[in-house]
Structure 1
Amino acid sequence: MWRRLIVKTLFETVEKPEKAILVAIDSRSQAIHSGWTVQDSLNELEQLLTTAGGVSVGRLIQKLTQPNKSTYLGKGKLEELLALQSTLKYSVAIFDDELTPVQQRTLEDFLEVKVIDRVALILDIFARHAKTMEGKLQVELAQHQYLLPRLAGQWSHLERLGGGIGTRGPGESQLETDKQLLQQRINRLKQNIDRVSRQRNLYRDKRRTRGIPVIAMVGYTNSGKSSLMNALTKSKVLAENKLFATLDPTTRRIVLPGNRQFLLTDTVGFIKKLPPTIVKAFRATLEEITDSALLIHVIDINSRNAFEQCKTVEQIIGDLGLGEKPRITVFNKIDLLPELREKKNEPEILTMFDDLLQFQPSNTVLTSATCRWGLNNLLETIGRYLPEPYLSEERSES
């Protein structure tokens, strides 16, 4: 009844942004293990909410070892969340963890407002920012896979899926028919994505034949990858101070001195608690990372959670089986570091981030995409990984 993931976004553009309350469980063991505090996580959730077009009016945190299986929160906190409606006037409750279908239905029935979780919020942002056909297909697939186990009690989905009252088979329950329709759509989406993926493979085979190496930029969302792409290639890739401002991969050619050239690809940013369904849906995009000769891991060095963000990216790279792929670590946004006002040089600044240097200490470059600092150093470092000089077609024909 509340979920409209297939056609509409969760926060449609209106005169007044939709008001939301953010809810999380504070598990000390989880914080110790991950390095993130519950406030850090909610700060990021609020950034996601802002990107989606909503506004936070409050937060509710409960200390629990693990969420309640049916209500997520304990009984007392659940009553408190309900009571806050009268003062905060929120119309949606956003939970920082992925909710089970049972938790979501119970919370919606009790609160009588829209209830979503971090995954649904990320999918909403993806739906807003997907521009290419491939991106839209991948987002829709992830949305359908998220919706499938949550169909129980859902009747309004028929208008979203294009079905209707006459679509039931003899003797079948509505829920069974619903699941069949959704599964059929998922299968069609997978086929379409596979077709696009095969086209990508043909394009990559052509690149291999021509001998042009591919370098992929990876990093936590909002680390400045798109700004760095613009600075290096003088292009105009969308770059905003928002999470997941860009979604579809962008590739540009760069020619170095000696006519050595490579293709630089900007991929979708990573984020903590990224569910496997999203990773699987975007496998065609992530193939660009797999096919690359070199990874450039871009880190927002000014973020107070830079170390945790770096670990998240490294973990996802490892999960993709790319842990051994060579890469350059870029500490971006150094113009925001207060240390620069003391006119310290690059080696002195690097010593302040020994915890981050454990990832790739020998290939670390300091940059500021907005100020165009360190770009030549980055290109020189990239050049050490490129093969023998490759003459561009234009030069070889002359």
Structure 2
Amino acid sequence: MPSLFDSIDLGAVHAANRIIMSPLTRARATEGAVPTPLMVEYYAQRAGAGLIISEATGISREGLGWPWAPGIWSAEQVAAWKPITKAVHERGGKIVCQLWHMGRMVHSSVTGLQPVSASPTTAPGQSHTYEGKKPYEEARELRVDEIPRILADYENAARNAIEAGFDGVQIHAANGYLIDEFLRDGTNHRKDEYGGAPENRIRLLREVTERVVATIGADRTSVRLSPNGDTQGTDDSAPEKVFVPAAKVLQDLGVAWLELREPGPEGTFGKTDEPKLSPEIRKVFSRPLVLNQDYTLEDAQKAVSSGLADAVSFGRKFIANPDLPRRFAEEIPLAKDDMATWYSQGPKGYTDYPFADE
């Protein structure tokens, strides 16, 4: 039976183990969305992961509405990412860039632009801004003639990620952001070729993936989905009818691997009684499947040894445990993270968590 500590090939990426670091927004870039030298140390510390998925990284100014989050659309950003990927590789690690368009979760005070989405809807709750939390704003509906611009932004970001030294990319199609807003009928009320039937709502995901695959290759392209439950007010009336076919589309396009964020009834962030779709998705997606959400070491090992998953990604555990794979392997107790410093600037709660032998 496979173990979490066995190596695995995720397309062109050879991962030394199956303990994946999931994307974690940490807000340590500049206001211009440029990575900082502090981020070099943070990612290098965590290079023992089989693979690091970078924090969500904006493909354009329009799509990046989180304060102090990084982007990958400019030459300056590419240059600032290069020391980060180099440091991870020098420590023997692998890292892919998660490509992010936040859709209606953007706030105009951050971007200077009205948020865009599948349809003119407003997310519940409040947005993070440089002036503190503010209510979300109504998004405007993306016109069909604007879709080519969105696809070009993904192409540019994917090309830039490879130029910056990343081993590949992950298309962020989960968690209530732009692509997820197109996938789900709770936020997609369109009457054109991008709305209505599931195959139409899947269209943007397919076109984005096709463009990225054509740009950097299928063996360096992955996707993240969140098939079950409501995420940031984005839901669907029949998730199985859209996400299983979506996974089949990704299988046919040859993406290297697929990650699923699947909350349960006791989820730490996001709870749902909707069944997990990974068993059904497993039937149509034969390449490596990575599962995420509140996994313990024991649960993760069961998922891998049973064949339900090929690897498991961990988020918050990597915040306070830069040497998480070693702690798992040697059964060293895990440190606790400080939520107050998740999105603060500076090294506190970022690069100052000790390794087990310190």
Q: TM > 0.5 between the two?
A: no
Q: Higher helix fraction: Structure 1 or Structure 2? A: 1
Please indicate the TM-score interval, normalised by the length of the shorter structure: 0.3 to 0.5
**Which is higher, the Rg of structure 1 or of structure 2?**
1
Which structure would you say has the larger RCO, counting Cα contacts within 8 Å and 6 or more residues apart?
A: 2
